[in-house]
Structure 1
Amino acid sequence: MNLLIKSATIIDPSSPFHNKKQDILIENGKISKISKLLDNPNNYKEITFENLHVSQGWFDTSVSFGEPGFEERETIENGLKTAAKSGFTAVAVNPNTYPIADNKSAVEFIKNQGTNSATSLYPIGSLTKKAKSEDLAELFDMQNSGAIAFSDYNKPIDNANLLKIALQYAQNFDALVLSFPQDNSIAQNGLVNEHINSTKLGLKGIPALAEELQIARDLFLLEYTGGKLHIPTISTAKSVKLIKEAKKNGLNVTCSVAAHNLVLTDDELVNFDSNTKVLPPLRTSKDVKALIKGVNNGVIDIITSDHNPIDIEHKKVEYSTAKFGTIGLESLFGALNKVLPLETLITCLTTNPKNRFGVKSSPINENEEACLTLFNPDFEYEFSINNIYSTSKNSIFLGKRLKGKAYGIISNNKII
């Protein structure tokens, strides 16, 4: 693939060209030259867009595709196309398939479905067998087959001893363990954040305490065992405080936050729109402010879309019976670009997640592989059904004003 990108503002703190407007010459999938003005003697295809910005390729650490088992929600092929059009050059795919991806062959199947795609696919293996929180799955075998981390997606590890053993065992092969932050004995069958709105609307609440208790427990376990822990999708002010303290004490812990928890509050529940039913739930404005502060000061390392397609039969139903989850790949950048500094947002989508999950980073520099996201940070629009590429349309951001849009990606010697 040979291309010439014209007049692109480079956003990459690890690049000597950071914040500069440059032409970028790509030959055979590699960046061969970066300069203020480049000629095109070989008549390569030229890429020019309004207000073009370029960063390292974005990586989303929590994406669900239905395949295998729930193809009506999303196939891997269409999911990867959606990711590419939304600006993502890599995604980590959760194991919440049917059957659960808890063994070597399941991981290999998912990985193989992503071969030859512009967006690289990295499977996450289930931490426990059938994600039942009873017995550890075949972690070592799955890692050898391509799993980059281990998680029972959106299901807490109820058994503290099991998580202790997982953290100890995973150190033998330097694996990353994820633990979903919710104590089910507190959350029980709650639907939304327990607060004024849940009381007003008569919806059973999930207290912030359910998340914070589990995080406190997991951090105590990590302190005891050592190892590497990642806490996905935190949502409360106290969770940020707990993780900040743990990092200060030298624990090897990182965390992520879902895009919608950084932008929306439980005031969204007023219309009983089941697209607002997410896990962890939307919290209060105080929590949102604390999460944004946590991203800005580096306590929160990673931002994810937590993309979770749900078919209409399980989403467009009564609020209490609807499944948790929203799609988010298409809306992530436009939603967050309104509330975060651009450089901070790009770092949380590129170097931070790649370093933590062991995915190769490609700085924007000469002789580096061309793994790029192309975007316009100033494009404003209303997010509608026409902006959705996913098979399922369950977006929490429908009807919202967004700022910033991906043009596409250059990755794996392909352009989307």
Structure 2
Amino acid sequence: MNLLIKSATIVDSKSDFHNQSVDILIEKGFISQIAKTLKNPKKYKELNLDNLHISQGWFDSSVSFGEPGFEERETIENGLKTAALSGFTSVAVNANTNPVIDSHSDVLFIKSKASGNAVNIHPIGALTKESKSIELAELYDMTNAGAVAFYDYQKPVANPNLMKVALQYASNFDGLVISFPQESKISGLGVMNENVTSTSLGLKGNPALAEELQIARDLFLLEYTGGKLHIPTISTSKSVELIRAAKQNKLNVTCSVAIHNLIFDDTELKSFNTNYKVLPPLRTQDDINALIDGLKDGTIDMVTSDHNPIDIEHKKIEFDFAKYGTIGLESAFGALNTILTTKKTVEVLTKGKQRFNIESSPVAIGNKATLTLFNPNLTYTFTKEHILSTSKNSMFENKELKGKVYGIISNNTLILN
């Protein structure tokens, strides 16, 4: 692919052209020239977009598609198209399929289904066989097939010895263990945050304590075993404190937060809209403030859409019985850009690559063109028309967002909305 991009503002702190408005020449998928103004003697296609900003390609560390087994929720093909049009050039895909992705051949299946796509797919293998928390899955074999981490999606490992062994074993090949932060005996049958709101609504509560106990346990295990631990989608102020202290203690731990947990609090559930039923649950405004502070000071390493398509049959039912999950790829940038600066938004959408051993390609001459194109200033109301996923379970519907994605350049391909 050959392309001349005109008048683009670079948003990439690792680029020599950060904050500059430049022309970018791409030849055969690589950035060959960057300058204030470039001519086009070879008559390449030119790209001229309103208030165009460009950064290195974004990465989402927690995406669920459904295929194989739950294609009615989302297919890999449409999921990757959605990711591309939402600005993501790489996604880590969870193992919550049917069958669960827990073997060498399962990982190869995911990668083969995405072969030749503009978006790079990085399978996360299950940590335990069939995600049943009884015995470890084939971690090393899955690594050889291309798995980037190991995680029983939204299923806590109850047995501390199993988590201890996982951390010890994975450290032999620099494997990344992901542990969902919930102590299930404490969370019980809770379907939302345990708080005055849950009492007033008559819904069973899932207390912050359930998350914090599990995190404290896993951090003790990490200190004992060594290894690499990632704690996904934290949601409470105390969780931020625990991880901040662990990092000060030089433990090899990272964490993420779901974008919706940075924006919505548990009072949204007064409508009993099941799109707001997520795991971990929406917490309080005090928790949100602590999470945002944790992002700003680097305690929280990355954000994720935690994109989880759920078909209408499992969402349009009584709140207690509805499945957890919201889609979030399409709204990710516009939502984050309403609460953070554009520079910080781009930073937290790209920062997770290193932890998951994914190639980072700054906007620099000679580098592969792996780029996200966007307008950070356009405000709009997010409606069903903006949803690209097969499932429509978005909690951002009818919310005001700031920032529109134009598309991506990745794997020698230009994809535009």
Which TM bucket (shorter chain)?
over 0.9
- TM-fit CA distance, 1:342: 1.7
**Alpha-carbon deviation of 1:341?**
1.9
Question: 2:138 matched to 1:135?
Answer: no
Match of 2:5 in 1: 5
1:357 partner SS: coil
- Separation (CA, whole Å) in 2 of partners of 1:261 and 1:44: 44
Q: C-alpha separation between the residues in 1 aligned to 2:183 and 2:343? A: 34
Q: What residue is the counterpart of 1:367 in the other structure?
A: 366
Secondary structure class of the residue paired with 2:313: helix
User: What is the aligned-residue identity percentage?
Assistant: 65
Q: Summarize deviations over 1:73-93 as a string: whole Å, max 9, x none.
A: 000000000000000000000
Letter in 2 for 1:86: S
Alignment of 1:42-57 (within 5 A): 42-57=42-57
The alpha carbon displacement at 1:249 in A equals: 0.3
In structure 2, what is the equivalent of residue 380 of structure 1? 379
> Corresponding residue for 1:408?
407
Q: How far is 1:345 from its partner?
A: 1.6
One-letter identity of the residue aligned with 1:381: Y
Q: State how 1:166-315 maps to structure 2 within 5 Å.
A: 166-315=166-315
Separation in 2, partners of 1:263, 1:8: 29
Structure 2 distance, partners of 1:342, 1:196, is: 35
| C-alpha distance in 1 between matches for 2:410 and 2:185 | 44
Matched residue of 2:125: which SS? coil
- Opposite residue 7 of structure 1, the aligned amino acid is S
Structure 1 unaligned segments of length 5 or more: list them. Answer: none
Quote the offset at 1:347 in angstroms.
1.4
What root-mean-square deviation, in Å, do the aligned CA atoms of Structure 1 and Structure 2 show? Answer: 0.5
**Separation in structure 2 between the aligned mates of residue 183 and residue 111 of structure 1, nearest angstrom:** 33
Q: Do structure 1's residue 337 and structure 2's residue 337 form an aligned pair?
A: yes
Between the aligned partners of 1:200 and 1:325, the Cα distance in structure 2 is 23
Across the two proteins, how many residue pairs are aligned to each other?
415
Partner of 2:394: 395
Instruction: Tell me the distance in 2 between the aligned counterparts of 1:90 and 1:411.
Output: 9
Q: Match of 1:411, as an amino acid? A: S
User: In the alignment, residue 82 of structure 2 is paired with which amino acid?
Assistant: T
Distance 2:339 2:308 in 1: 23
List per-residue Cα deviations over 1:100-129 (Å, max 9, x = no partner). 001111111011111010100000000000
Measured after TM superposition, the shift of residue 349 of structure 1 is: 1.1
Query: In structure 1, what is the Cα distance between the partners aligned to 2:221 and 2:344?
Result: 30
* Superposed CA offset, 1:322-352 (max 9, x none): 00000000001000101012222211111x2
Amino acid at match of 1:218: D
Consecutive aligned runs of 4 or more in structure 1 exceeding 6 Å deviation: none
AA aligned to 2:400 is R
Q: Secondary structure at the match of 2:317?
A: coil
- TM-score for the superposition, normalised by structure 2: 0.99
Alpha-carbon distance in structure 2 between the residues aligned to 1:330 and 1:65? 14
Structure 1 residue 43: Cα displacement: 1.0
Distance in 1 (alpha carbons) for counterparts of 2:207 and 2:121:
34
SS of match in other structure, 1:356: coil
